[in-house]
Every structure is written in C-alpha cells, then in structure tokens.
Amino acid sequence: MKYQTLSGVHDILPEDFVYFNKVQKTVESVAKYHGFSRIETPVLEFAEVFSKGTGSGTDIVEKEMYTFRTKGGDLVALRPEYTPVIMRSYIEHGMHNQPQPIKLWYLGPCFRHERPQAGRYRQFNQFGFEVLGEQNASLDSQIIQMSYDVMKELGFKNISIEVNSIGDSECRPYFKKILISYFKSRRAALCPDCQRRLKENPLRILDCKEEKCQRVKAGAPQIIDHLCENCHAHFKDVLEFLDELELPYTLNPYLVRGLDYYTKTVFEIIENSEDGKAQGTLMGGGRYDGLSKILGGRDTPACGVAGGMERIINLLGSREDKAVVKSKKPEEAKIFLAQLGQMAKRKGMKLFEEFRAAKIPVAESFSKDSLKAQLRSADKMGAKWVLIFGQKEALEDFITLRDMETGTQKEIKLDKVVEEMKEKIKSLKN
C-alpha cells in the first residue's frame, strides 16, 4: 500500500514555510506592538465547550466537529476554533482577577470535517487576537485596525472592512420575531438548511451563501434599524473610531457571522477584485459579551478576530508579486567549515557551536568525509572562506583558512578563529 495524506489534510513543506513564517511573524509583530501576549490551549477539549459556546445549531457543531468518547466515557472534541477555549481558559485560571483587559493572541491547528477545497482543509492553522474584560468600543476598533494591518503588511492591496451590529439579548429577540415573520412568507424560496434555520436561528439565514437565499435576504429587514439604545450607542462609537482611523469600511446590514456567541459588533476583512467586487473573507470577528456566562463564568465583555493561515498562504503563493510576501531570508553563510577525520569532526562541532553563540552564520557538511566534496559544496553555496580542520589541525589546535576567491591559505590558532572571522565578516559589510 502506498501511504499518503488523508483527504482534507496536508503537509507543510519547506518551501511553504516561506509564507507560513511570513504570516506568523507579521501576526506576532502586530500583536506585540499592541501589547498582546501569546496563549496556547490543548487541541482536545470537552465537546460541550463548543456545543455550548459556539452554538449547537451552528455548522461547526452540527456538521464539522470531530468528536469521540475517551476510554473514561468523556465526550471530547478536536478544537474546531479558538474563541470558546480562550474564554474557558480565562475563566479556569481566574484571569478576571488580573488588570483588565486581558489581551491574547494565538496561532495553532484546528480541525473541521468540511468539504475539502482550495484553501480549506480538515486540519488547518488559525491565528487570532482576543481582548477580554472590557466593553469599550475602542477595543472593537483596535481589533479591526490590527486585522487590517496584518493584511496590509502581508501585501494585500484591495482590502476593505465590512461591519455591522447584531445587537444583544435586549434587542435581538424582537428583531428575530420580525425576521421570522419576513422569512415565513418566503419559506418555499429558501434552501433546506435555511428552512430548518428559520425554526432554530433565523439570523443564520442572513449568513447563507446559497444564491436562492441571497435573493430572498436582499429584501429582509435590517437589524441596525432595531438596535436598543445601548447597542446603537456602542456601534456609533465603533464607527466614529473607524472614521478617525481612516479605515476603508462599509456597512453590511446582513453581516451576522456564523457563530451564536457574537453580540453587537461583527466584521470581516474582505479582499476585493480590481473592479471592487468582494472575492472572499480573509479575517472575521466581533464582540462576544455573553460567552463567559454561557460557559459558567461571570459577565465578561470580550471581542476578537480570527484568520485561516492556509487560505491566506494559498493566496500569497498564487500572486505574481511573490517578492512582496517572501520572508527575509536568513543571513547567508560566507564561511564554510570543512573537517576530515573523527577527531576533527568532534572538535569541529564544538567550534560550530562557538560560531552559533557568536551569531556568525557558518555552513557545514559533517556528514561528508571527502575534502573535495566539501569544497564543492562550499563553492556551490558561494562561500567566501573555508575553514579546513583536519587531523593535524585537530592535534595542534589550529585551523587552515582558505580564501575561495584567491585560493590563498593561512593558519589561525583555534582559540582566535571566531574573533578573526567576526572581523572579516564586519569588514565585508563595511
């Protein structure tokens, strides 16, 4: 049998890490600048964290979550997303006792049993920012700004922000009644999933991507017209911050996001084509002030955003302007360490560590015994100097330095070699 990856999962190959590392460094840089600390949670959680937190009627929980019973009988799930487990961790570790807000960022694998397609996998990597413990609208705006900055720094040019408010437990129930009334009279025109959603969660119909449902929802009432005073004031503050930041946003009255825990602000970072049409969502998030109580904690306002690494990496890798997104390559080694014989290899490895401690890039080929083969490797990689360390050099504690351009050689005392090569590298830069 010829083994290969399962359907919907993939290997991240060395050449892919050019983009993977670029995204990670960009996310980390933006997070650190805004005072966010990294958190990581277990891949396995009690399934109830998601069925309660994400929502039992969501696609993630109903169709996509990987669940199984442990030998002890517990129902557990592979993490399909981060937000509920970040909140679980906040509650479990008593983070409410720390100065608020708590600002966290994450990056790691998630699992969803969805139909494999370009940029969507059953095991994928997700990154995001979460702010817990504060309800000020400035934090919604900060999260949106950070998301926009990440995409800009990755080289995406035609990006915009779609934003909406979906109210809270005070104003949303009334709006749901209005929505149900509207969709009930058009039930036959909805897809089977949305006919079911009409009973369970009519707001989710607004999130449906089916063309027939898109036509129906185009005339649906808008929640923004039915917000309570508190939600209206909060959303007004968010938009004023976005105006001040001069971010390119548009109001999308039908944007709801597909998860039950969202309240008030919801948003997506959208990539547009050259003619201005939306092509796809790069990042999405919003406020989730009620999630803590759903998971058994105290009232904790919070907001956050998430993005899928693979989707973004696939887009970066398909662009013609790859130079824009490539990570800065590690400094190329100008020095090659060649060694002959076991004693020279042992001492050579120690010397190699001394170069590493001095932050001087050095290439090597400890697996090769032939000096000719090693010099060929040094020449191929464009090394300027080769340090030759043979049996005689190992016994007498010196090393032979060969200039690859001129072919000249000289001997250097072993305890002086790191310092001398540091000076040579310095003079080369000057």
Residue closest to 331 by CA, chosen among 360, 356, 364:
360
Instruction: Note whether 61 and 79 are same-domain residues.
Output: yes
Instruction: Note whether 414 and 292 are same-domain residues.
Output: no
Range of the domain at 79: 14-171+227-325
| pLDDT exceeds 50 at position 162 | yes
| pLDDT exceeds 60 at position 236 | yes
| pLDDT exceeds 80 at position 56 | no
* Domain finish residue from 279, 303, 325: 325
Binding-site residues from annotation for L-histidine: 81-83, 112, 126, 130, 257, 261-262
The residue that leads in pLDDT, 1 or 236, is 236
Tens of pLDDT, residue by residue over 214-228, are 888 888 899 899 999
Lowest mean pLDDT among 52-66, 210-224, 259-273, 358-372: 52-66
Q: Determine the average pLDDT of the residues in 78-100.
A: 96
| Reported confidence tier of residue 202, pLDDT bands at 50, 70, 90 | confident
Binding-site residues from annotation: 81-83, 112, 126, 130, 257, 261-262
In a domain, 277, yes or no: yes
| Reported confidence tier of residue 149, pLDDT bands at 50, 70, 90 | very high
Work out how many domains the chain is built from and give that number: 2
Tens of pLDDT, residue by residue over 10-37, are 998 888 888 999 999 999 999 999 999 9
Tens of pLDDT, residue by residue over 319-371, are 644 444 444 444 567 899 999 988 888 888 889 989 989 989 999 888 788 88
| pLDDT exceeds 50 at position 119 | yes
**pLDDT computed for residue 100 by the predictor:** 93
Type of residue found at 195: Q
Q: What CATH number corresponds to the domain at position 101? A: 3.30.930.10
**pLDDT computed for residue 199 by the predictor:** 81
In the predicted model, what is the mean pLDDT of the chain? 88
Q: What CATH number corresponds to the domain at position 419? A: 3.40.50.800
Whole-Å CA distances, 147 to 251, 256, 285? 17, 18, 9
Residue closest to 28 by CA, chosen among 327, 366, 361:
327
In a domain, 196, yes or no: no
Please list the residues that pair with 308 across neighbouring strands. 126
Instruction: Note whether 84 and 157 are same-domain residues.
Output: yes
pTM over 0.75: yes
